[in-house]
Chains A and B, each alone.
Chain A
Amino acid sequence: MPPRLVSDKHEIKRIRTYINGLDENIQGGLPEGHIALVSGAAGTMKSSLTFNILYHEAVNGNNGLYISLEQSAESLVNHMLNMDFDFTKVNLVIIKDLADLASKLQSISRGKGSLFIVDIGCIRKEIRDINTDNNKSWLNVIKNVIKKVSVEANTKLFVMDSLSALYVLSRFENPRIELFMIFEFLRDLNITSYLISEMPLDGSKFSEYEIEDFLSDAIIVIKLTPFRRQVVREISVVKMRTTACNNDIFSLEFKNGQFYALYGGQNPLL
C-alpha cells in the first residue's frame, strides 16, 4: 500500500539509522516507506551500516530483509559477529534456496524480530543451469522475494546489497524506465528501503546511471578521506525528502558496537 497523506508532520514515522549523532540531525531518521541510496566506495562500511539498522530494528521486534547479491550470508554474518552483534536477540533466517522460503517464513518465532538474509549468490550457483536465459528473471526473483517476505512476514524494512550487482545480473535495456518501475514497486509495498550503491573511488557520482539520485528519497554518502597519515570515514546526508536535515559532513566511527557520526561541519580532532 503506497504511503498515505498526513495532516500533521508529527504523523510522519521515521526509522532510525542507529548512528549516534546523525539521527539527531535528520529529525530522528528516514521517513517510513522512503527509499534511500547508500553510496560509497569499497571499505566504507555500507553493508555494516545498513545491516546495523536491520539488526537494531529486529532487536526492537521489527522484521527486516537483507538481500545480498554477491557476498555470501556466512561471510556477512561472520563479519557482523566479529563486530560484536548478538544474534541471540533476533531470529536470524538465512535463505539459500528459494524452495525453502515459504516454509522458513511460516516457521519463524513470533516472539522476536526476524532478520532475513537472502543469499542470492548462493541461489545463483545452485540453479545456474536453469532459468538464466532471460535477463529479467533475476529482477523478478528479487521482486518476488521482497513481496513475499514483506507480505507474509510483515516486513517493512529492506536492504539491497547492492544495486551495482543487480545491474550486472539484470542488464537493464532501458535503465530510466526499469529503475522507475523498481522504485515504484518498492513504494507500492511501502517498504523502507536502503539500496547500496557502489560509488567510484573519485566520488564523481553516487550511482551507476545517476537516475537513482533523482528517484530515491534520500542519499547517504560515505567516503574514505585521507587525513594526515590516517584514513577516516566521512558520512553526509546529501538529500532526505520530508526531512529538515543537516547536510554537514560527519566523521563516521564504529566503536563499542555502535556507529557514531561526529564533528559535523568541524575538523575532526585526530
Chain B
Amino acid sequence: MSFGLTKVFSKHGGRIIEKWIFDAQSPLVSAATVAELEHGRHSIIFGTKDGHILCIDEAGKEVWRFTSGEKLSTVDSFFVDQERVHSIDAPPVVQDVDMDGKPEILIGTEMGILYCLDSGGKLKWKHDCGSSIRASCAVADINMDGKPEILVGSSNNKLTVLTGNGKKMFEYDTDSPVESVPGVLQGKKPLIIFGNNKGTLIAITPAQEIVWRVELDHKITAAPAFFDDPEEKRLVIGTLGGDLVCISEHGEIVWTFKTQGSIYSAATIADINDDRKPEILIGSCDNSVYAITLEGHKIWSYETDFWVTTTPIVTDIDQDGKLEVIVGSYDHNVYILDSRGTYVLDYVPGLSGIVHQSGTYSSIITSDPGQQTGKKLYQFKTDGIVVGCTLLPRNKPGLIVNVKSGHVTGLDHQG
C-alpha cells in the first residue's frame, strides 16, 4: 500500500539503472564523446590512460580500438612519466573535417600526437605537435573558406592550426603551455580564444594578430562557453583559482562569480527554467554545481561530497517534460538535479526551535526567509571517481559515465 502511494504521489518516479558496463582495462581520465559514426547509430568513443582509443556501441560492445604504438628510444623513455606517457587526457572530437561526408575522430595524446581516424578506427593522418596535448581540439572555419580548420593547444607553448587534412597552417606562440580547449567566437570575423597555464585568456585573429589579452591569474583548462547578450557576444570561462569570469567579445571583464574550488571544465549554457533566457551551469572543486544567471547571480547550488570536474549536462532524462542537470562527482556518484532547484525556508514557523520574542528585532522577519537551492532527484553510485558524463541523445536520453577505474557505464532512467 505504501509503495503504491509513493508511486502515485512521487513527483519524479522511477530510478536510474545501469544498462551495461564496459571495462576498458585501463584507467580513464576523461569523458567519452557520443557521435553518429554511422547514420542512425550512436557510437561512444573515448581514450584511455594507456593510450588506446576505443569505440563501443550503444549496448556497450567494443566496435574497434586504435592503438597509437608510438615508440620511444631507451634513453628517451627514461625522461617521461611512464605512467602517463601514452595517456589520452581529453575527449575526442568527432566531425567531418576533410569534407568527405563522413565524420572523423580527432584525439590528442600525452606524447603530443594529434590523430585523425576514420569512422572505422583507421588512421587517416597524424600530426606531431611536439609536446603533450591535454585538452580536446576545436574545429571551426576560421578563415571563412567554407572548410573547417583544427585548433589544438600543447605543452610547448603552442597553439597549432591545421587544415582538415592535417597540414599545418600556423603555430602561434602562447607564452605558456595550453591545456585548455580553444574556442572560436563567430562574429563578423572569427576570433580564436584560448587560455594558457599562466592564466591569460588570449584572443587572436586567424591572421595571428592579437586582439586582446585578459589576465585571469590562474591556470585555465576549460573551454570558453559563448552566449549572446542583447548588445554583444560574451563568453564565460572558469579558472583553477575558482573564478567563473564573464568576458565581452571586446575583452572586458563583465562580472566574476567566485567559487571556493578550481573550475576545470567548461560551463553549460542552457535555459533551465523556461524563462526564454539561458542560464549558466558550472561544476567546481568546492564540491558544488552552480546555476547562475547570465548576469552572474547565483540561482541555486548543490553540494556533492567531493569535486565536480565534469561539464554539467542539461536534458530531460526522466521524460517528465522538465529538464534535469546532471553532473558526476569525485565522490563516485552521478547526480541528477531538478534544473529549477527548490526553495528551502531557513525558518519554518511552528517547526523551528527558534521562538521570536515580541519587541525584539530579528533579521529573519525582514529578510528573505529562505533560499533557492539545488534539489537532487536521482543519484547513481559508480565504482570510482567520475571523470566524465556524456549524454546519449536518443528519443529517450541515456547517460555514458566514465569512471577512473576504467569502467564505462551506460545509464538509463527506468519507470
Contacts and interface: CB of A to CB of B under 8 A. Distances in A.
Contact of A140 (B74, B75, B79): B79
A5 interface: no
B211 interface: no
B82 interface: yes
B74 A102 contact: yes
Interface in A128-168: 131, 134, 136-138, 140-141, 143-145, 147
Contact of B77 (A134, A143, A144): A144
B81 interface: yes
Nearest to B74: A99
A145 B78 CA distance: 7
A141 B80 CA distance: 7
Given A98-B74, A102-B74, A131 B81 contact: no
B76 interface: yes
Contacts of A136: 81
Interface in A83-107: 98-99, 101-102
A127 interface: yes
Interface of B is mostly: helix
Contacts of B77: 144
Nearest to B76: A131
A143 B82 CA distance: 9
Contacts of A147: 82
A264 B178 CA distance: 56
Nearest to B84: A140
Contact of B79 (A99, A101, A102, A131): A131
Interface in B315-339: none
Interface in B199-216: none
A144 B75 CA distance: 11
Contacts of B82: 140, 143-144, 147
Contact of B75 (A127, A138, A143): A127
B52 to A, nearest CB: 22
A145 B77 CA distance: 11
A192 to B, nearest CB: 22
A138 B79 CA distance: 6
Contacts of B79: 131, 134, 137-138, 140-141
A241 B80 CA distance: 33
A173 to B, nearest CB: 10
Nearest to A134: B79
A259 B78 CA distance: 36
Contacts of A131: 75-76, 79
A144 B79 CA distance: 8
Contacts of A144: 77-78, 80, 82
A138 B74 CA distance: 15
Contacts of B75: 98-99, 127, 131
A98 B78 contact: yes
A239 B112 CA distance: 44
Contacts of A98: 74-75, 78
Interface string B371-387: 00000000000000000
A141 B82 CA distance: 10
A101 B74 CA distance: 9
A141 B76 CA distance: 9
B253 to A, nearest CB: 26
Contacts of B80: 137, 140, 144
Contacts of A134: 79
Contacts of B74: 98-99, 102
Interface in A146-196: 147
13 contacts: A98-B74, A99-B74, A102-B74, A131-B75, A131-B76, A131-B79, A140-B79, A140-B80, A143-B81, A144-B78, A144-B82, A145-B78, A147-B82
Interface of A: 98-99, 101-102, 127, 131, 134, 136-138, 140-141, 143-145, 147
Given A137-B79, A140-B82, A141-B78, 10 more contacts: A98-B74, A101-B78, A127-B75, A137-B80, A141-B79, A143-B81, A143-B82, A144-B82, A145-B78, A147-B82
Which 3 A-B pairs have CB atoms at the shortest separation, nearest pair first?
Answer: A137-B79, A141-B78, A144-B78
